[in-house]
């Protein structure tokens, strides 16, 4: 049984995507992905996030690198607005690849206090409903075109809930399951679906994570791994390998042992 490392390729490898939409493009991983895809001059990048200034700078940089780029200021928790926007974008530039990357986190307090309710709602609204709303208008369109690729950025935290970030891990487990379900559903429509589960990646998000961050990699390195994995149509792309293996052990170990390991890494709740 190797549940994490399963990353088989489907028969239909995706065509090189031309129109690529990235949510959360203003952040660490999203920006690194945009830079990477921008080096192909046939690419049109559609960059979404809330921070207009960062998006504008990023779009300009992507054009310098060779691609064409447009950006849209949007809060992915505005579900109807988001769906209308994605429909409009898809009318103008039929989306070949969407990377659902926008995300936020929250954590328990230093003395084990409960997560703030507003923060919990923000995490679920952004990380779960934001992904569902991004994909809802697109799936039928991709089915009609019989072509498309959907990448969902989950997390290694999807495999084993960390006591320090309960709502975040729940949201990432939910989108991981959603992506796995979509992959089976849409395979006959020639739509590739890929679930990405990174470990720690240097970004604003990880800067605010209160626990240990073993084997953290740069956003550029994460983006290179993600792009390579998408080109190979990996069902599941979990990295880095040692942490991925560690999460697998945590899943199969008896709960008291895996709880003990969690505490050793300062994820146990009370810090």
Q: Residues interacting with ligand NAP, by CB under 6 A?
A: 24-30, 49-51, 54, 75-77, 101-104, 126, 153, 155, 198, 200-201, 203-206
CB of 145 to ligand NAP, least distance (A): 26
**Helices 52-65 and 28-37, packing angle to 10 deg:** 20
CB of 131 to ligand NAP, least distance (A): 9
Residue 37 bears catalytic tag: no
Strands (DSSP E) contained in the chain are 19-23, 44-49, 68-73, 97-100, 148-153, 191-198, 236-239
- DSSP for 203-254, please give it: SHHHHT--S--TT-B-HHHHHHHHHHHHHTT-SEEEESHHHHHHHHHHHHS-
CB of 11 to ligand NAP, least distance (A): 29
Alpha-carbon span 128 to 29, nearest angstrom: 18
CB of 153 to ligand NAP, least distance (A): 4
Residue 159 bears catalytic tag: no
Contact 219, 32 (CB under 8 A): yes
Kindly tell me which of 49 and 190 has the beta carbon lying closer to ligand NAP. Answer: 49
Work out the end-to-end distance of the chain between its first and last CA atoms, rounded to an integer number of angstroms.
Answer: 34
Kindly tell me which of 27 and 246 has the beta carbon lying closer to ligand NAP. Answer: 27
Which residue's CB comes closest to ligand NAP? 27
Kindly tell me which of 65 and 158 has the beta carbon lying closer to ligand NAP. Answer: 158
Among the listed residues 159, 168, 178, 267, the single catalytic one is 168
Kindly tell me which of 167 and 190 has the beta carbon lying closer to ligand NAP. Answer: 167
Kindly tell me which of 190 and 203 has the beta carbon lying closer to ligand NAP. Answer: 203
Per-residue CA distances from 208 to 159, 184, 212 (Å): 21, 35, 11
Among the listed residues 172, 176, 225, 234, the single catalytic one is 172
Q: Is 193 exposed, middle or buried (0-12, 13-18, 19+ CB in 10 A)?
A: buried
Per-residue CA distances from 186 to 4, 150, 153 (Å): 21, 10, 18
CB of 2 to ligand NAP, least distance (A): 21
Contact 59, 76 (CB under 8 A): no
Contact 66, 41 (CB under 8 A): yes
CB of 193 to ligand NAP, least distance (A): 16
Kindly tell me which of 139 and 217 has the beta carbon lying closer to ligand NAP. Answer: 217
Q: Catalytic site residues?
A: 168, 172
């Amino acid at each position: 049984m190797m549940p994490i490392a399963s990353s088989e390729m489907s028969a239909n490898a995706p065509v090189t995507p031309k129109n690529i939409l990235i949510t959360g493009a203003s952040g660490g991983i999203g920006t690194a992905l945009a830079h990477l895809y921008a080096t192909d001059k046939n690419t049109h990048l559609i960059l979404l996030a809330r921070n207009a200034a960062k998006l504008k700078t990023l779009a300009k940089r992507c054009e310098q690198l060779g691609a064409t780029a447009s950006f849209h200021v949007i809060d992915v928790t505005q579900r109807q607005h988001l769906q209308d926007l994605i429909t409009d974008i898809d009318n103008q530039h039929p989306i070949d690849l969407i990377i659902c990357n926008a995300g936020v986190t929250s954590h328990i307090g230093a003395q084990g206090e409960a997560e703030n309710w507003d923060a919990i709602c923000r995490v679920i609204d952004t990380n779960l409903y934001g992904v569902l709303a991004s994909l809802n208008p697109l799936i039928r369109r991709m089915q009609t075109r019989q072509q498309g690729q959907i990448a969902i950025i989950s997390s290694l935290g999807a495999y084993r809930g960390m006591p320090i970030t309960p709502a975040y891990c729940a949201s990432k487990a939910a989108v991981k399951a959603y992506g796995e379900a979509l992959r089976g559903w849409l395979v006959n429509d020639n739509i590739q679906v890929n679930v990405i589960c990174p470990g720690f990646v240097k970004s604003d998000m990880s800067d605010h994570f209160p626990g240990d961050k073993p084997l953290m990699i740069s956003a550029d390195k994460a983006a290179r791994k993600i792009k390579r994995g998408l080109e190979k149509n990996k069902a599941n792309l979990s990295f880095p390998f040692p942490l991925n293996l560690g999460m697998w052990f945590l899943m199969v170990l008896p709960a008291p042992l895996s709880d003990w390991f969690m505490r050793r890494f300062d994820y146990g709740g009370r810090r």
